[in-house]
A and B are shown apart, each in its own frame.
Chain A
Amino acid sequence: MSNPIFIALIPILPLTCFLLLGLFGRKHFSTTSGIIGTLSLFISTILSFATAYQYFFQTGKINGVYQKIIVFKYTWLEFAPNLSIDMGILLDPITVMMLVVVSFVSLMVHVFSLGYMKGETRFATYYAFLSLFTFSMLGLILSSNIFQIYLFWELVGVSSFLLIGFYFEKPSAVAASKKAFIVTRFADLGFLIGILILAFYAHTLDFGILIERLSVISSPYLTVINAASFLGMSALSWGLILVFIGGAGKSAMFPLHIWLPDAMEGPTPVSALIHAATMVVAGVFLVARLFPIFALSDPGALQVVMYTGAFSAFFAAVIACTQTDIKRVLAYSTMSQIGYMMFALGVSKYSGEEGLGYMGSMFHLFTHAFFKSLLFLGAGSVIHFVHSNEMKDMGGLRKLMPITHISFLIACLAIAGIPPFAGFFSKEEILMAAFESNRLIYVVALITSGLTAFYMFRLYYSIFWSKDASVKNHHGEGTISMKIPLILLAILAIGSGLVPIASFVTADGLPITSHVPISFSIVPVSLALIGILLATRLFKNSNDLPVRISQQMGGLYTAASRKFYIDEVYLFVTKKILFNLIGKPAAWFDKHIVDGLMNLLANSTAKVSELIKGFQSGKVQDYALYFFGGIASLIILFIYLWQ
């Protein structure tokens, strides 16, 4: 297993699958493509688990510290000596953890889709895109070079675009896919410029060397990059913040979050994979990858990460309380939970016990992937059943879909942070880290945690309780392939909190030994319980209380349900400013001024030649006239000069 070929196979298998299904799927594998995709990913998953086992228990640790291991590296595009995009594989604790998460969740989604997408005419294309995404995401986390990560970053973005726009005949899906791509592209611009800045000062694109050169205090590179400043901020801060903007775009942080709720237009399993568990945490992963530079060299930039994360967490939680489309509730909840991960990184320090935030963030990323994809797959199951995304079309489904009901409940308890479900453990670590570092953040996190419990149970009750089921002629809860992923993920939503992440995934590679005291958990858990109780009172049985309350809140409620009008602001900026103020004048200028000038030039040339043409009339008299006129003027000139 130490053979690099096996690790390289992890992303290569899905790539092969993509090529196979993309090129020949429509003709030859229209029904078997699901099986092919799932099987190849199954092998990838096994290889990922084996790699993880080997890294954590055999090869990863040297002198008790987990190392960054470069498995292999190949120069792909050399810009200058020592400055090249390498295709390589870097293994370290976060990579290996992500490998497990991505391949496993992707496998669950592949299995779930076997039932969910059955009968779809573009079944093969769907699995091709799914494979492309999995390949890109695996490539992203394995990257050993900052430009390599950017490359896969773009690929992930485009596969997300293709999958959101999968139902290409729906105008809303097309609009959503465009929006997702363009907003993240805008953020990627920041990432790209950030890379240019960091690479210029560090003279490398390789992660290992880059981090070493920019985080060791005595490094001459660090002195130079800190000394260079622009608009009062050091070049290092600019570079890091710009890279973070790229991460914030992918991870749907405020104010670049607007694409995520719309992205729910894609097939629901896709939302579970891309927009819950894997791609959206790429930003967190990126900050974690560069964490030594953030934490050791530029705490200021880390503060930006912290405040962005905390605000996004709270902001999204408020909006989630008012949405009625169940996938949108989940989308905002995802944004909120990623905000959690972000600010957890923000409050963290690099080494020792103070690195709790980093560990908590990664822990939360790990547990969240399971319960959030479970929530989405559960929602998919529900949508498959009632053929609607709206809460008003649901209710009382608990008897009709028992497995979905139980697994959804488990996931809700997990995300709400009720012990002993997974979310409880990871949230505790984050809250503890925030408590020790920044009380303001801690309070925001606490309130958010309460809100989370409230809106999740609002969702839960609206789907499964509330009123009697109105669905008739249903076709059952779904195939066995849809149920197995739910059950497996539910087990993980309970059990993944018990994984001792603290001894594996830390910023400095050393295990963290401290434990959160039980007394600390009383406040958050009771807040979560209050949230749940409130939701029970309001939504368990249908009554008019929620409507009355929302009416009393008036403007605040409307603003939240309209997502605080951020979309409208964007629309204004793009439509009014980009199109009308820049695009239209540019097109007009080109057509009338630049082209007009060229035409004028041509026309005046024609005019002049028209004028001169007259001289060559062919009449001898005219020529005689010019001749004598010329002689006369020469004589006059001569006399004039001679005097």
Chain B
Amino acid sequence: MNLTLLLLFPLFTAFAILFAKGLKQVRVIALIGSIFQLLLAGKLLMAYYQIKAQGNQSQMVFEYIQNWYAPLHLQYHIGVDGISIAMILLTAFVVVAGILVSWKTEQLSKEFFFLLILLSLGAYGFFISLDLFTLFFFLEVAVIPKFLLIGIWGSGKKDNSAMKLALMLMGGSALILVGILGIYFNTHTEAGIHTFDLLLIAKMNIALPIQKIFFPFAFIGFGVFTAIFPFHTWVPDGHASAPTAASMFLAGISMKLGGYGCLRVATFLMPDAAHAYSWIIILLATIAIIYGAFATMMQTDLKYINAYSSISHCGFVLLGIGMLTKTSIMGAVMQMVSHGLMTALFFAAIGMIYSRTHTRMVAQLGGLLKAMPFISSVFVIAGLCSLGLPGFSGFAAEMTVFMGSWQNPDKWFRLATILACASIVVTAVYILRAAGQTIMGPMVNKEHELLTDASWNEKFAAILLIVGIVVVGIAPFWLIDLIQPGTEIIMSKLGAVALVK
């Protein structure tokens, strides 16, 4: 299967949107384009299973290499393994749901949908890249639309938030660039040249001192994207100001770019340093988990609640990566998928509530279940997934992270695991508070009784995401089967290092 299709489809859609006439054409094209993306992602999954069933044991499948700029040894090198396919599927789900939710966008709709599709293009490019520079290029493609999406279609103090988000993510990118260049200049291929090729670099052993210098750049840089403490402050403000679909993309896709990068670039290419610094990662992750959870408890704006809870939940991703056991890393990947779907669903529900009541303040809402049972149920389902209810994806992911973390026998790491486990209680507190005050209870504002329930596009968006959550929640073994081979290769790199020591 040709992976470049994953880039061509969105590109084609984006240009078709530019030439479309009228609101109706724009959104129909956007929707059809996104559905094609989803179908393509599904086909990719099928093709992957097929090629694996034929006994293909190689690390990456559907590889393709094309020289891009020979003097700097830049290549367009793409390929996927199970982990990237999981991420691509997640992206495709969120894109369709995001487009459906923003169906009614009328202000500058052409530009809006164009940017959404462009963002998805960046994400696909990022997940299939096997060349560090190409990867970095697509990362940037995914950042810039966000600035515009928030700055133009946002609400509240959107200028400030857009600027903050862009600056912090650019700062992260700068760190990543230093990390990537650091790796690049310390690679030596047989031909005696430097390389950006991820698979080639993985076969070399970069000296420990060099790893120790550049690992923090790469890890923290990607960490900024996934809200590593203390570089998480773009998350609450960015989400609060962003339009619904942008929030969904931001939390569902962008934060995953960071987690994926931490794993695929920082940890995979510099395993010695990952071992050396794992205690710092775990410390920061544990802080993010606990502190994020407690900070969430005090929020009064629904979007802030979900944004802070994202910080806490993304802490699980970092914790899983930092613990460096096979199970914990699989847990981290599962948590990325689970959090992406769940948080997109949560933001979608919040957006639906906001577009009707024109407020996100918990105190001004109440008893919405009576007026809009569907949206309220969606909200409750997202909440229950967030607090790790079995049957939804959150449970399987969190438990895998906990079991995996516990396998790391270090005494202090055990303590971190226990603290992380403890956060599930705090999560229950804030989720139930939010649900209790907005969905249940007496209706605070009598005018809310007249509000209408979800429209068809919102229903489809919600159902799509719920299906994703439930499938992962009920059949986590499918996801495990998908990501296991990829994780084993990362582990072989990490484990080989541990033996050398």
Contact = CB atoms under 8 A, between A and B. Distances in A.
A181 B299 CA distance: 21
Interface in A574-617: 578-579, 582-584, 586-587, 590, 594-595, 597-598, 602
A639 interface: no
Contacts of A199: 403
A192 interface: yes
Contacts of B389: 154-155, 158
A78 B477 contact: yes
A70 interface: no
A196 B406 CA distance: 7
A602 B167 contact: yes
A595 B326 CA distance: 35
Given A80-B407, A171-B442, A151 B421 contact: no
Interface string A425-449: 0000000000000000000000000
Contacts of B231: 598
A587 B399 contact: no
B326 A80 contact: yes
Given A147-B399, A169-B367, A182-B432, A77 B480 contact: yes
A286 interface: no
A642 interface: no
A182 B425 contact: yes
Nearest to B398: A192
A196 B441 contact: no
B477 A75 contact: yes
Nearest to B481: A78
**Size range of the interface on A?**
35 or more
Contacts of B425: 182, 185-186, 189
B18 interface: no
A405 interface: no
A154 B167 contact: no
Interface string B226-267: 000111110000000000000000000000000000000000
B216 interface: no
Contacts of B424: 185, 189, 192
A158 B431 CA distance: 13
Nearest to B403: A79
Nearest to B294: A586
B369 interface: yes
A587 B428 contact: no
Nearest to A169: B442
SS of A interface (majority): helix
A186 B400 CA distance: 20
Interface in A165-196: 165, 168-171, 174-175, 177-178, 181-182, 185-186, 189, 192-193, 196
A76 interface: yes
B390 A200 contact: no
Contact of B400 (A79, A158, A196, A595): A79
A473 B48 CA distance: 72
A227 B35 CA distance: 58
B436 A178 contact: yes
Interface string B432-455: 110010011111000000000000
A171 B327 contact: no
Interface centre among A182, A186, A196, A584 (most CB of B within 10 A): A196
A83 interface: yes
Interface string A73-88: 0011111100101000
A539 interface: no
Interface string B351-368: 000000000000000010
Contacts of B402: 192, 196
A152 B390 contact: yes
B411 to A, nearest CB: 9
B291 interface: yes
B112 interface: no
Contact of B327 (A80, A170, A192, A597): A80
B418 A182 contact: no
B407 A155 contact: no
A583 B440 contact: no
B417 interface: yes
A200 B422 CA distance: 19
B298 interface: yes
Contacts of A186: 425
B476 A169 contact: no
7 contacts: A77-B480, A168-B441, A181-B432, A185-B424, A583-B298, A587-B299, A598-B231
Given A77-B477, A151-B390, A578-B297, 13 more contacts: A75-B477, A79-B400, A80-B326, A80-B407, A151-B395, A174-B440, A174-B441, A186-B425, A189-B425, A579-B297, A583-B295, A586-B291, A587-B298
